[in-house]
């Protein structure tokens, strides 16, 4: 589960924020994302009375709705990564410097742990509790690889053609991922680590995390390479010309 809004957009209402603001936005967004995932999982499990399918449906819908809200609100500030593999993909594409990418990952991991603690506090649980839920095996590793591949690939493709739709594409894909993947589509190393610290509906054993994260990175990096080739960005000069033409048309329209 993750967010992957483009780091900049012609329609973004803000000037480029400084690194401090971007890091705070990433930490806050990741914390809220994890709180949504874990908290809705706890609530759904308690209300579903043992109906796992109903609990999963509620958890998926809450996550999808929360992702749209987080991406639309915080995406213009930091790019709305909330996910280390999204930041790594941006680094490979040249959208983030190595220093900024390292900062993003650090605050995402920190925010993820705080998100678990926030969710537990809302439901009267210990701040952290190690999960005992097993999620392992080749089918689940492949599931995480495919989930991360689709997340990064669709975000890149949409961001280069219809950037305003990225929040909805990402949220829709993750909501579907709860159901079409055997692992329920974590697709996010920070979230995966956080879920090891909650012995609730969304938990995963700490021993199962390394394979999940490796699968997520593998899927994300392959998607970055493929979709960077499949949907190449416009050269800077062409983007400038396109903006100039759009502004010219806008001026003509207003003059009419």
**Could you state, in order of their start, the residue ranges of all structural domains in the chain?**
19-240
* Per-residue confidence band for 245, with pLDDT thresholds at 50, 70 and 90: very low
**Of 111, 191, 118, 198, whose CA–CA distance to 151 is shortest?**
191
Q: For the chain, what is the largest distance between any 2 Cα atoms, rounded to a whole number of angstroms? A: 67
In this predicted structure, what is the pLDDT of residue 244?
47
In this predicted structure, what is the pLDDT of residue 236?
55
* Per-residue confidence band for 123, with pLDDT thresholds at 50, 70 and 90: very high
| Whole-prediction pTM | 0.86
**Euclidean distance between CA atoms 195 and 199, whole angstroms:** 8
Q: What is the mean pLDDT of the chain?
A: 89
In this predicted structure, what is the pLDDT of residue 1?
64
Per-residue pLDDT of 157-191, as tens digits, reads 999 999 999 999 999 999 999 999 999 999 999 99
Report the phi/psi class of residue 193: left, alpha or beta, with left for phi > 0 and alpha for psi in -120 to 50.
alpha
**Euclidean distance between CA atoms 203 and 190, whole angstroms:** 13
Per-residue pLDDT of 211-242, as tens digits, reads 999 999 999 999 999 999 999 987 754 454 44
In this predicted structure, what is the pLDDT of residue 14?
52
Site of tokens 């010219």: 248
Per-residue pLDDT of 25-63, as tens digits, reads 999 999 999 999 999 999 999 999 999 999 999 999 999
In this predicted structure, what is the pLDDT of residue 249?
39
Per-residue pLDDT of 51-108, as tens digits, reads 999 999 999 999 999 999 999 999 999 999 999 999 999 999 999 999 999 999 999 9
The DSSP string of 129-151 is --------SHHHHHHHHHHHHHH
* CATH of range 19-240; options 3.30.70.20, 3.40.30.10, 3.40.50.720, 1.20.1080.10: 1.20.1080.10
């Amino acid at each position: 589960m993750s967010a992957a809004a483009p780091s900049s957009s012609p329609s973004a209402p803000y000037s480029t924020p400084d690194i401090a603001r971007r890091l705070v936005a990433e930490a806050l967004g990741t914390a809220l994302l994890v709180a949504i995932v874990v908290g809705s999982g706890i609530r759904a499990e308690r209300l579903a009375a043992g109906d796992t399918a109903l609990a999963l449906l509620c958890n998926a819908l809450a996550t999808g709705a929360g992702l749209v809200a987080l991406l639309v609100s915080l995406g213009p500030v930091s790019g709305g990564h909330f996910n280390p593999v999204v930041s790594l993909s941006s680094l490979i594409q040249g959208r983030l410097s190595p220093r900024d990418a390292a900062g993003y990952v650090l605050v995402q991991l920190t925010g993820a742990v705080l998100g678990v603690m926030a969710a537990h506090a809302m439901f009267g649980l210990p701040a952290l509790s190690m999960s005992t839920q097993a999620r392992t095996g080749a089918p689940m590793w492949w599931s995480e690889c495919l989930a991360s591949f689709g997340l990064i690939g669709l975000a890149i493709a949409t961001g280069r053609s219809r950037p305003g739709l990225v929040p909805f594409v990402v949220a829709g894909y993750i909501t579907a991922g709860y159901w079409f993947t055997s692992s329920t589509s974590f697709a996010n190393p920070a979230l995966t680590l956080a879920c090891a610290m909650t012995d609730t509906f969304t938990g995963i054993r700490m021993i199962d995390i390394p394979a999940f994260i490796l699968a997520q990175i593998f899927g994300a990096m392959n998607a970055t390479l493929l979709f960077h080739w499949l949907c190449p960005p416009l050269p800077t000069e062409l983007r400038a010309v396109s903006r100039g033409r759009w502004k010219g048309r806008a001026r003509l329209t207003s003059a009419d």
